[in-house]
């Protein structure tokens, strides 16, 4: 599926057009990007079958750009736009910037690059300009820090589909007997530095040829007889190693890591007078295990450790004592508890969301459109919220999977909710979250959340820390206090699966689990294909050592209704 690549192309074009102060076009490009991101059909097949121009929002101009990109993996239009603009368009993606500010700063201070921007901000030049102040200058500086930290790492949610596509292409090439993902992506880390893929084959040379000439490769970084590294059009590096079957398990372990976990295992091997490497587990120079990971762990005297737990944070010791907790599995998760439809800021109808959720095997879902006064999220007022509930009731009469009437409501700076209780009482499930006044200090923010938790309709605290990976840290709260309140009130804390949120993150999840707080998983999908993000939430739950009983999504519908009714 190239839908997300095409969407990215159109978004990039929109940004550059906006920088040039072109009217209307940027919105047309964004609308088309959004549609393509949200459609369930493969844009490439639509094009091949002559239906590209039937896609809503795709006219002649936009269609030509898509066709060129699909045919050549390049866009001369995008390159031209990049040449015309004197400044780096990445500047627009820094928190606190945007096209108008980028243009303005270029005109006033000749800022072209991130470096220029940083220098001017540090010298205090920006705060003197109209429309800027000390606070916005500070915000820009912290935005730059984040952009620097994040650069070079890709969000797991974007890297994982690419990895799966490469693996399935390798498998269908018939050159390999097996292929698998390793590295941080297999451990489900929220961002990845590169992808690591292993393949079993007796035709290593042919596999290398195949891998280095995949259509989305723009550069072969290195190439040897059994390993190669390439760069893809989107900048992601992919490493491939080919190995014989008898080393597959030990290589998979080695390249899954993380490094500290590997080091701990090697020490255990040495203590048992064995030697562990990517080539196998050896005793007296004889390979005694290596074909599968289970075999290697078992011969080391340990229970198998799931990849998400391999961070050397206590799992090795527990596995030696056979005391690893049984962490939640994808098949235990019966529902998705946060998603948006056209009723607020989503791109699909309730029926379309439900249909896709059914395909993913969900038994039920919560549709949680925004209600209240948040304009940017196209929030429903009380009247529209009532209609929305009626619509869900009527869809439920014929829907294959049950739909909970849900809503996501803003927690106001005072801690009150953005819509009155008499409206909230009509919903099955109320998610509350912070979307405004994000810069509050810890104590004040904690008070705000605790106050919201006193509302008897609140069931889930959604995307609790408000962070956006590569963009902002989010606010801090006094978690122990909030954990206590959550337990007392029977409120679950969310793992928002959206790739740049992953909020709670793995570390927060682990503390919540230790505190005995219940967690909910929600994709926060704004389009049907994004319901796939559920896997990312399950991965984060597993990285945080959450068990089935810690995750409310594992409750069958009847039990869920009881949980929600308290």
Buried b (16+ CB within 10 A) or exposed e, 418-443: bbeeebbebbbbbbbbbbeeeebeee
Residue 261 Cα to chain centre, angstroms? 24
192 binds ligand DGT (CB under 6 A): yes
118 binds Ca ion (CB under 5 A): no
Integer CA distances (angstroms), 260 to 266, 300, 536, in order: 10, 17, 23
Candidates 191-199, 404-412, 480-488, 524-532: pick the segment binding Ca ion (CB under 5 A).
191-199
- Report the DSSP beta bridge partners of residue 403: 365
List residues binding Zn ion (CB under 5 A): 433
In the complex, least distance from residue 193 CB atom to Ca ion, rounded to whole angstroms: 5
**Binder to ligand DGT among 27, 84, 124, 263 (CB under 6 A)?**
263
Closest residue to Ca ion using C-beta atoms: 183
Residue among 72, 73, 43, 70 nearest 58 (CA): 43
Residue among 355, 198, 222, 361 nearest 279 (CA): 198
Candidates 127-135, 192-200, 210-218, 553-561: pick the segment binding Ca ion (CB under 5 A).
192-200
> Residue 25 or residue 231: which is nearer to ligand DGT going by CB?
231
Under a CB-based contact definition with an 8 Å cutoff, are residues 384 and 343 in contact? yes
292 binds ligand DGT (CB under 6 A): no
In the complex, least distance from residue 343 CB atom to Zn ion, rounded to whole angstroms: 15
**Binder to ligand DGT among 38, 96, 157, 183 (CB under 6 A)?**
183
| H/E stretch holding 395 | helix 382-398
> Residue 30 or residue 187: which is nearer to ligand DGT going by CB?
187
In the complex, least distance from residue 290 CB atom to Ca ion, rounded to whole angstroms: 21
Candidates 98-106, 142-150, 255-263, 446-454: pick the segment binding ligand DGT (CB under 6 A).
255-263
Integer CA distances (angstroms), 561 to 67, 409, 556, in order: 49, 20, 9
Residue 263, preceding peptide bond in cis (omega within 30° of 0): no
* Cα–Cα distance measured from residue 243 to residue 305, given in angstroms and rounded to the nearest whole number: 22
Under a CB-based contact definition with an 8 Å cutoff, are residues 230 and 238 in contact? yes
Residue among 301, 334, 332, 333 nearest 318 (CA): 301
Candidates 258-266, 411-419, 469-477, 478-486: pick the segment binding ligand DGT (CB under 6 A).
258-266
* Cα–Cα distance measured from residue 72 to residue 87, given in angstroms and rounded to the nearest whole number: 26
Under a CB-based contact definition with an 8 Å cutoff, are residues 216 and 165 in contact? no
> Residue 433 or residue 540: which is nearer to Zn ion going by CB?
433
* Cα–Cα distance measured from residue 411 to residue 50, given in angstroms and rounded to the nearest whole number: 47
In the complex, least distance from residue 521 CB atom to Zn ion, rounded to whole angstroms: 15
270 binds ligand DGT (CB under 6 A): no
* Cα–Cα distance measured from residue 309 to residue 330, given in angstroms and rounded to the nearest whole number: 15
259 binds ligand DGT (CB under 6 A): yes
184 binds ligand DGT (CB under 6 A): yes
Residue linked to tokens 């998705």 = 336
Contacted by 433, from Ca ion, Zn ion, ligand DGT, none: CB < 5 to 8 Å by type: Zn ion
Candidates 186-194, 288-296, 317-325, 511-519: pick the segment binding ligand DGT (CB under 6 A).
186-194
Residue among 467, 472, 419, 411 nearest 444 (CA): 411
Contacted by 263, from Zn ion, Ca ion, ligand DGT, none: CB < 5 to 8 Å by type: ligand DGT
* Cα–Cα distance measured from residue 393 to residue 402, given in angstroms and rounded to the nearest whole number: 10
In the complex, least distance from residue 193 CB atom to ligand DGT, rounded to whole angstroms: 3
> Residue 140 or residue 525: which is nearer to Zn ion going by CB?
525
| H/E stretch holding 490 | none
Under a CB-based contact definition with an 8 Å cutoff, are residues 346 and 498 in contact? no
Candidates 101-109, 193-201, 362-370, 414-422: pick the segment binding Ca ion (CB under 5 A).
193-201
| H/E stretch holding 521 | strand 519-522
Closest residue to ligand DGT using C-beta atoms: 257
Candidates 120-128, 187-195, 240-248, 494-502: pick the segment binding ligand DGT (CB under 6 A).
187-195
Size of the site for Ca ion (CB under 5 A): 5
> Residue 212 or residue 318: which is nearer to Ca ion going by CB?
212
> Residue 4 or residue 184: which is nearer to Ca ion going by CB?
184
**Binder to Ca ion among 38, 157, 183, 280 (CB under 5 A)?**
183
Under a CB-based contact definition with an 8 Å cutoff, are residues 220 and 230 in contact? yes
In the complex, least distance from residue 159 CB atom to Ca ion, rounded to whole angstroms: 9
**Binder to Ca ion among 15, 37, 196, 428 (CB under 5 A)?**
196
In the complex, least distance from residue 232 CB atom to Ca ion, rounded to whole angstroms: 14
506 binds Ca ion (CB under 5 A): no
Residue among 215, 305, 227, 307 nearest 268 (CA): 305
Residue ranges binding Ca ion (CB under 5 A): 183-184, 194, 196, 239
Residue ranges in contact with ligand DGT by CB under 6 A: 183-184, 189, 192-194, 196, 254-255, 257-259, 262-263
């Amino acid at each position: 599926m190239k839908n997300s690549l095409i969407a990215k192309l159109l978004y990039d074009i929109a940004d550059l057009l906006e920088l040039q102060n072109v009217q209307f076009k940027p919105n047309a490009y964004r609308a088309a990007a959004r549609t393509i991101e949200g459609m369930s059909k493969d844009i490439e097949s639509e094009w091949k079958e002559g239906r590209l121009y039937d896609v809503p929002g795709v006219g002649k101009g936009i269609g030509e750009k898509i066709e060129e990109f699909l045919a050549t993996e390049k866009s001369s239009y995008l390159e031209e736009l990049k040449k015309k603009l004197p400044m780096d368009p990445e500047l627009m993606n820094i928190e606190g910037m945007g096209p108008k500010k980028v243009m303005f700063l270029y005109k006033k201070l000749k800022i072209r690059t991130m470096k220029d921007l940083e220098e001017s901000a540090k010298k205090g030049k920006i705060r003197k300009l109209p429309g800027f102040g000390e606070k916005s200058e500070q915000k820009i500086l912290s935005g730059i820090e984040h952009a620097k930290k994040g650069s070079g790492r890709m969000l797991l949610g974007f890297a994982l589909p690419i990895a799966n596509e490469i693996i399935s292409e390798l498998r269908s090439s018939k050159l390999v007997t097996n292929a698998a993902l390793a590295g941080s992506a297999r451990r489900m880390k929220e961002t990845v530095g590169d992808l690591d893929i292993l393949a079993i084959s007796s035709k290593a040379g042919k596999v290398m040829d195949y891998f280095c000439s995949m259509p989305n490769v723009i550069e072969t970084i290195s190439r040897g007889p059994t390993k190669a590294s390439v760069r893809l059009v989107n900048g992601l590096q992919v490493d491939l190693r080919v190995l014989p079957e008898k080393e597959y398990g030990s290589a998979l372990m080695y390249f899954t890591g993380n490094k500290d976990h590997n080091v701990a295992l090697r020490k255990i091997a040495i203590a048992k007078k064995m030697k562990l490497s990517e080539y196998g587990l050896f005793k007296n120079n004889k390979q005694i295990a290596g074909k599968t990971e289970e075999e290697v762990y078992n011969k080391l005297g340990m229970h198998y450790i799931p990849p998400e737990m391999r961070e050397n944070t206590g799992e090795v010791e527990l596995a030696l004592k056979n005391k690893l907790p049984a962490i939640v599995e994808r098949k235990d998760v019966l529902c998705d508890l946060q998603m948006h439809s056209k009723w607020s800021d989503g791109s699909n109808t309730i029926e379309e969301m439900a249909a896709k959720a059914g395909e993913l095997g969900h038994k039920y879902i919560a549709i949680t459109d925004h209600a209240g006064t948040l304009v940017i999220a196209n929030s429903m007022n009380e009247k529209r919220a009532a209609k929305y509930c009626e619509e869900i009731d009527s869809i439920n009469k014929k829907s294959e999977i049950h739909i909970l009437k849900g809503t996501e409501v803003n927690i106001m700076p005072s801690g009150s909710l953005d819509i009155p209780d008499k409206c909230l009482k009509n919903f099955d499930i109320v998610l509350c979250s912070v979307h405004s006044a994000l810069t509050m200090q810890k104590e004040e923010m904690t008070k705000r959340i605790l106050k919201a938790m006193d509302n008897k309709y609140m069931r889930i605290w959604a995307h609790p820390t408000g962070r956006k990976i590569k963009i902002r840290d989010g606010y801090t709260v006094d978690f122990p206090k909030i954990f206590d309140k959550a337990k007392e009130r029977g409120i679950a804390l969310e793992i928002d699966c959206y790739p740049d949120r992953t909020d709670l993150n793995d570390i927060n999840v682990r503390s919540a689990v230790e505190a005995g707080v219940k967690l909910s998983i929600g994709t926060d999908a704004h389009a049907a294909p994004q319901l796939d993000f559920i896997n990312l939430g399950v991965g984060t739950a597993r990285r945080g050592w959450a068990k089935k009983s810690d995750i409310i999504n594992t409750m069958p519908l009847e039990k869920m209704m009881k949980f929600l009714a308290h």
